[in-house]
Amino acid sequence: MSATLTPSSAAVAATAAPGPDAAVALAVTGLSIRFGGLTAVEDMTFEVREGEVLSLIGPNGAGKTSAFNAITGYIHASSGSIVYRGAPLVGLKPNQIAEHGVVRTFQKTSVFNGLTVLDNVMVGLHRRAKQHPLAIMLGLPGVRRDEARLRDLAWEILDLVGLRARAEETAVSLSYGELRLLEVAIALAAEPTLLLLDEPVSGMNPAETGAFMALLARIRTRGITVLLVEHDMKMVMGVSDRIVCLNQGRIIADGPPAAIQSDPQVIRAYLGERYVRARG
């Protein structure tokens, strides 16, 4: 399948593309979400395999973000089941879901505005810290050692996303592209095994998007499974192993990028004739 991809993305996908026999990481079965009379998501069923990059695409209002919110516990599913590595996630609070290694970013840029870049990542490292409140108040040496360890981890993550030079800046002084990188850095700090990215490159220029795709490749090499919601088709086609296409709350196609690109339903519902013509 990688033969049909564009050259720049082939390298990305080839790093760790899992075969179709890879274990199922996240299984969403019969998921429905209703807000009053409005059905945002209806009977959605899909699987994310260990180590793959799966993209959810679809026109605005197709239910992508609602599905994200349900998986991460920010809204309640009306029916259906969400199972990650054998553990049911429905009914858990967002912080409990994060404990299972399922961590998300937000569609609207969301960081800790008043803190420095380094402290933003330090907050993200919460799950990896080993500090009992009593030990903190007594000032035990173990706490100081743990803080030093966390600081090292934070620098390592800043290196990974390329924000080391901005570590001491307050988050509000960052550019838009840097803020989106910081969001990913905070999420990575929480040690995800499944990372959910909600439109991470929206509003980025092509150069920033390219840098972000390279970052995504580095994240994959760490063995982190990625579930992506994105409108930027070049990015989606470039990084995804598989794509699930939604329209009006229903799944209309599920397959590798090449199959999605030529799927008549997808073209009609989402990409439109102009996209096909542009591709030549």
Partner 1 sequence: MSRAVSLASSVAWVGFLVTLPLWMDNLYFLHVLIIAGIFIVAAMSLNLLLGYTGQLSLGHVAFFGIGAYASSLCSLGFEIHVLDVPITLAPKPVWFSMLVAVTFAGLCGWFIGKISFKVRGAYFVIVSVSFAEVTRLVALNWLELTQGPMALNNIPFLKFWFPGIGDVDILGKVPNYYLVLGVAIVTYVIIRRLVHSRAGRAMIALRENEPLATSVGIDVTRFLVLATVVSAALAGLAGAVYAHYVRIVDPDVFLFIYTVTMVIMVITGGKGTLAGPIVGGLIFGILPEVLRGFEVKPELQWIVYGVLMILIVYFLPDGIVPAVRDAWKRWTGRTGAPPAEPTGTAVPAEARP
Binding footprint of partner 1 on the chain (CB under 8 A): 72, 74, 93-95, 98-99, 103-106, 110-115, 119, 122-124, 126-127, 129, 131, 133, 136-137, 139, 143, 146-147, 150, 165, 173-175, 178, 186-187, 189-190
Question: Nearer to partner 1 by C-beta: 34 or 151?
Answer: 151
Inter-residue contact 39 to 229 (CB < 8 Å): no
Measured from the CB atom, is 64 or 166 closer to partner 1? 166
Question: What is the smallest separation between the CB atom of 241 and partner 1, expressed in angstroms?
Answer: 24
Provide the token pair at 94: 């967002």
Tell me the pairing of strands 242-247 and 225-229: unpaired
Least distance (Å) between residue 81 CB and partner 1: 21
> Which residue's CB is nearer to partner 1, number 132 or number 268?
132
Q: Which of 154, 162, 156 is nearest to 207 (CA)?
A: 162
CB of 60 to partner 1, least distance (A): 21
Burial class (CB in 10 A: 0-12, 13-18, 19+), 116: middle
We find the least distance from the C-beta atom of residue 133 to partner 1, in angstroms, to be 5
Choice between 84 and 270, CB closer to partner 1: 84
Residue number with CB closer to partner 1 (40 or 174): 174
Find the shortest distance in angstroms from Cβ 14 to partner 1.
31
Q: What is the Cα–Cα distance from 233 to 249, expressed in whole angstroms?
A: 20
Rounded Cα distance, 18 and 241, in Å: 8
Residue 107: partners with Cβ closer than 8 Å, 6 or more residues away: 65, 198, 199, 202, 229
